[in-house]
Amino acid sequence: MTPRCLRLVLIAVCCALPLTAPAQAGSDDAAAQYAAAGQQALAQGRYAEAQTNFEKLARLAPDVAEVHATLAAIYFKQRQYELAVQQVKTAQKLKPSLPRLDNLLGLSLAELGQFQAALPPLEKCFHQTEDPSAKRMCGLQLLRAYTGLGRDSDAVETSLALNKLYPDDPEVLYHTGRIYGNFAYIVMERLHDKAAGSVWMLQAQGEANESQKNYDAAIIAFNHVLVLDPKRPGIHYRLGRVYLAQFQTSRKPEERDAAMREFAAELAIDPGNGNAGYELANMSADMGNLDAARNQFQQVLKRFPDFEEALVGLGGVELESQKPAAAVPLLERATRLRPDDEVAWYRLAQAERGTGNKEGQAKALAAFRKLHSSTPVTLRKPNAGDEITPQQLDENAKP
């Protein structure tokens, strides 16, 4: 847990637990001095000094629950978790109604690795508290507890809830990302153990090799799937993507041709695979076969009218065919569907220029320039799933 989180724990507990030790300890001057000195040290972040004063105060006022609760928070800050647990339990016995002690108990037990005992207070904190800071801390510790207990599904469920509550929190993103990765690994291991030679395992191996750019191994795995299930949807498409990736590196015509054959084979099995149709259209356009590309893009858009990349691709074909008026409505629709697509805005500017619409050209060019200058290429969001080859800016495109 980060130092910031530890400070929040301490502040939350101390704010919720007003110190009444001097009143309950009578007129004892020493107790009053320790309480005042301890509070001042806490306010200034001098936790070791605060610990010393509250330990002395606890000996003078052993029946004051607030003193033990505050001392528990100090111990937690000082990473003395066993002592923190002891003090929480003492405070709870003296005054069960004190707020937030369950939260601190769960956090302390989790830090000690006592996950089973930590679960009830952590779950209560995460699901019931209205305090965002406490909910966040308990959620993060719940991830540790569930993982430590082998309750991977619960860890994933909590990760999803944390991501929804704190979508931009770096610490949450880091820990939930690890949970997702660990869970995926466990599921794949189980698949391997239960069905090592199944089409599902072979498909998983192919996809893993593809993601690692181990293309030869991916091709072997995907072809093995087709041996077992020749008409399995999606496999020819994946093979086409692998051959296309190889072609983009090697520029060997035979690999381009292999990719096109696989995409066509996919459409023969599944005519509704819009991605395969898109890739064929895109490759036809890259080869200068504009009529074929136009027809293929139109077939995809007939079935999937909101396929944004296909709209941009067809718009590009119309521009290449010197038909800017035909390109404008396609590219306007693309920019409405995906306003952050700089390629769509650039091509729209070209199309507006071709039709003589200077105002439309200026508007589209301004949108392109804003996107192009504000977002580094490496950070640009890919199309959904990035399962297709995105449209690219022309080589001579200038902001």
Give domain status of residue 88, yes or no.
Answer: yes
pLDDT at 42: 86
Nearest-angstrom CA–CA distance, 83 and 78: 10
Residues 12, 149, single domain; the answer is yes
pLDDT at 186: 80
* pTM, two decimal places: 0.61
Q: Mean pLDDT, to the nearest integer, of 36-49?
A: 88
- Asked whether the predicted pLDDT for residue 49 surpasses 80, the reply is yes
Number of structural domains, the chain?
A: 2
- Asked whether the predicted pLDDT for residue 4 surpasses 50, the reply is no
Q: Do 13 and 69 meet the contact criterion of CB atoms below 8 Å apart?
A: yes
The CA–CA distances, whole Å, from 295 to 265, 314, 318 equal 18, 9, 11
Residues 319, 177, single domain; the answer is no
Q: Do 141 and 123 meet the contact criterion of CB atoms below 8 Å apart?
A: no
Give domain status of residue 224, yes or no.
Answer: no
Phi, then psi, of 370 in degrees rounded to 5: -60, -45
Task: Decide: helix, strand or coil at residue 271.
Answer: coil
Query: What is 357-390 written as a DSSP string?
Result: -HHHHHHHHHHHHHHHHHS-GGGPPPSGGG-SPP
- Asked whether the predicted pLDDT for residue 8 surpasses 80, the reply is no
Instruction: Residue 388: give its domain's CATH number.
Output: 1.25.40.10
Residues 11, 138, single domain; the answer is yes
- Asked whether the predicted pLDDT for residue 259 surpasses 90, the reply is yes
Residues 186, 332, single domain; the answer is no
The CA–CA distances, whole Å, from 213 to 188, 191, 225, 378, 380 equal 19, 22, 19, 18, 21
pLDDT at 295: 97
- Asked whether the predicted pLDDT for residue 144 surpasses 50, the reply is yes
- Asked whether the predicted pLDDT for residue 25 surpasses 70, the reply is no
Enter the DSSP assignment of 96.
T
Residue 399: pLDDT band with limits 50, 70, 90: low
pLDDT at 310: 97
Q: Considering 157, 190, 223, which residue would you say is the last residue of a domain?
A: 190
Residue 176 burial (10 A CB sphere; 0-12, 13-18, 19+) = buried
Domain of residue 311, residue span: 307-399
Q: Mean pLDDT, to the nearest integer, of 370-390?
A: 63
Q: Considering 161, 190, 219, which residue would you say is the last residue of a domain?
A: 190
Residue 45: pLDDT band with limits 50, 70, 90: confident
Nearest-angstrom CA–CA distance, 204 and 200: 6
Q: Do 330 and 321 meet the contact criterion of CB atoms below 8 Å apart?
A: no
Average pLDDT of the chain, as a whole number: 88
Q: Do 125 and 103 meet the contact criterion of CB atoms below 8 Å apart?
A: yes
Residues 311, 183, single domain; the answer is no
Q: Mean pLDDT, to the nearest integer, of 314-341?
A: 97
Residue 180: pLDDT band with limits 50, 70, 90: confident
Give domain status of residue 167, yes or no.
Answer: yes
pLDDT at 60: 86
Q: Considering 163, 190, 217, which residue would you say is the last residue of a domain?
A: 190
Place of tokens 């819009």: 274
